[in-house]
Amino acid sequence: MNLPDYIEASRRTKLKKDIEYYNNDIKNIGLGKTYHIKTYGCQMNEHDTENLKAMLEELGFTYNDNYLTSDLVLLNTCSIRENAHNKAFGMLGRLKHLKEENPNLIVGLCGCMAQEEGVVSEILNKYKWVNFVFGTHNIHRLPYIINEVLNNNTNEIEVFSKEGNIIEGIPVKRDSKYKAYVNIIYGCDKFCTYCIVPFTRGGQRSRLKEDIVKEVEQLVKDGYMEVTLLGQNVNAYGKDLNLGYGMEKLLEEVSKTNIPRIRFVTSHPWDFTDGMIDCITRHENIMPAIHLPVQSGSNKILKMMGRKYTKEEYLTLFNKMKERIPRVSISTDIIVGFPGEDREDFNETIDLVNKCKFDNAFTFIYSKREHTPATKLKDNTPLEEKERRLNQLNEIVNKYFLENNKKLVGTLVPVLVEGISDKKNELYGYTDTNKLINFKGNDDIIGKIVTVKVTSAKTWSLDGELYDK
């Protein structure tokens, strides 16, 4: 049994990581069995799930859309806020009943919650029936862990507090035939005081440029139209490798693969260089859409959050992007109700939002996370007041989403067509600036980039008509 340890998880060593290649000699143990994976959290977890699916299918398991009738259910969990926790524990509650009816059901838990000391001890005490738990650093061990569970009928808890080597070559079963996630950097060394990610995902480790480019080249051969380069802070890419190149160089190289669209998330404002801005403007296949989380507009709160920039510095960067990158759309993340945030601080956030008029924003109430430095801060603001602030903020950000979308009415936009929308008999896709658009057309253009004329705007989407295939 390997259990998570927070002190270990918070340590950072400068030792360079080696690269290991995925290797699995276990076969067929899942033949005749079905699996279901529930995924919570960010794109990194979504992409891990694509790896987990491929590994399970290599073992012979087949995917079942319905967890109620699956032989194996795996929860790929997220720790970022309390409600992500609650969702996963709620699901475990439902699985407990299922397991009472069907003792052969195999239940596993992985992802960020598996890296939390408190969660694993709760599972060991109250959810003893969970068959296996593994963490974010050892997803490649899934075949071995399941083999143990099936053959020896044991409960397997294998969580490593420290990240190990970078594992290349883990198989992947991608959800889309047109858009793909590609990891470029794992972990995070920023330690923003509210955030659990540096503990659950470990230290910053970049993949080699050559491995990333090779993956994108293969995607181009397979007909993919878009890649999203993934990392908690992609702008720090390469810093740990000490090879003299960073995100700008990587973007250059990925651009040369001629993949039609390149996106990247998430950018921390601290590491966003002028060189990167120029690089985006130089390459047509790097999309003019940047996610640039600000978190707060108050310098006092930004300092307490450990974000390492001021409101003014953020605005300078923001304005530079708007000036230099034609048509750029900028989205953000904002936390309200951080400990010590008073009305004045909140008004600073509103002021920043009024200045930036973001194209999209994800807004959250601060959630206290186990062992993070912010847990020690005094928090006097009642939840009702935090909810009022969130509602007020949402009203304002939504107003700007609509305003920005309305400006596009009458213009022609390039759209990667992704499929048929659920509601109406229409196609849907995303513009280069990452806006959802619905329009009528034949399904033979799914997977292609077409030109659409925007005919009307809503808060979260556009409507249009096909202009040119």
Judged by the rule CB under 6 A, the positions of this chain that interact with ligand SF4 are 188, 190-192, 195, 197-198, 232-233, 268
The residue (of 112 and 279) whose beta carbon lies closer to ligand F3S is 112
The residue (of 252 and 333) whose beta carbon lies closer to ligand SF4 is 333
Q: Kindly state the smallest distance separating residue 39's Cβ from ligand F3S, in Å.
A: 9
Q: Which amino acid is at 207?
A: R
The residue (of 5 and 189) whose beta carbon lies closer to ligand SF4 is 189
Q: At what angle do helices 209-221 and 247-256 cross, to 10 degrees?
A: 30
User: Which listed option, ligand F3S, ligand SAH, ligand SF4, none, makes contact with residue 112 (CB within 5 to 8 Å by class)?
Assistant: ligand F3S
Q: Which residue in 4, 30, 41, 293 binds ligand F3S (CB under 6 A)? A: 41
The residue (of 216 and 336) whose beta carbon lies closer to ligand SF4 is 336
Site for ligand SAH in 345-364 (CB under 6 A): 364
The residue (of 234 and 328) whose beta carbon lies closer to ligand F3S is 234
What is the full DSSP assignment across 419-437?
A: EE-SSSS-EEEEETT--EE
Determine the distance from the C-alpha atom of residue 438 to the mean position of all C-alpha atoms in its chain, rounded to a whole number.
24
The residue (of 183 and 367) whose beta carbon lies closer to ligand SAH is 367
Neighbours of 410 (CB within 10 A): 10
The residue (of 63 and 362) whose beta carbon lies closer to ligand SF4 is 362
Q: Considering only CA atoms, which of 466, 419, 422 is closest in space to residue 443?
A: 419
Asked if 366 interacts with ligand SAH (CB under 6 A), we say: yes
Site for ligand SAH in 280-319 (CB under 6 A): 293, 295
Beta strands 261-265 and 226-230 are: parallel
Beta bridge partners of 388: none
User: Which listed option, ligand SF4, ligand F3S, ligand SAH, none, makes contact with residue 99 (CB within 5 to 8 Å by class)?
Assistant: none
Question: Which structure tokens are listed for 458?
Answer: 């809503």
What is the full DSSP assignment across 338-385?
A: -TT--HHHHHHHHHHHHHH--SEEEEEE----TT-GGGGS-----HHH
The residue (of 92 and 197) whose beta carbon lies closer to ligand SF4 is 197
Is residue 48 within 8 Å of residue 41, measured between CB atoms? no
Asked if 367 interacts with ligand SAH (CB under 6 A), we say: yes
3-state secondary structure of 83: helix
Distance CA 170, CA 423 (A): 36
User: Which listed option, ligand SF4, ligand F3S, ligand SAH, none, makes contact with residue 198 (CB within 5 to 8 Å by class)?
Assistant: ligand SF4
Asked if 108 interacts with ligand SAH (CB under 6 A), we say: no
Which residues have C-beta within 8 Å of that of residue 427, sequence separation ≥ 6? Answer: 417, 419, 420, 421, 438, 439, 440, 441, 443, 445, 446
Q: Kindly state the smallest distance separating residue 232's Cβ from ligand SF4, in Å.
A: 4
Q: Kindly state the smallest distance separating residue 373's Cβ from ligand SF4, in Å.
A: 11
Q: End-to-end CA distance of the chain, in Å? A: 57
Task: Pick the stretch among 3-11, 72-80, 89-97, 395-403 that binds ligand F3S (CB under 6 A).
Answer: 72-80
Q: What is the largest CA-CA distance in the chain?
A: 64
Is residue 179 within 8 Å of residue 416, measured between CB atoms? yes
Q: Kindly state the smallest distance separating residue 441's Cβ from ligand SF4, in Å.
A: 38
Task: Pick the stretch among 47-55, 191-199, 205-213, 350-358 that binds ligand SAH (CB under 6 A).
Answer: 191-199
User: Which listed option, ligand SF4, ligand F3S, ligand SAH, none, makes contact with residue 181 (CB within 5 to 8 Å by class)?
Assistant: none
**Residue ranges that bind ligand F3S, judged by CB under 6 A:** 41-42, 44-45, 78-80, 111-112, 196-197, 200-201
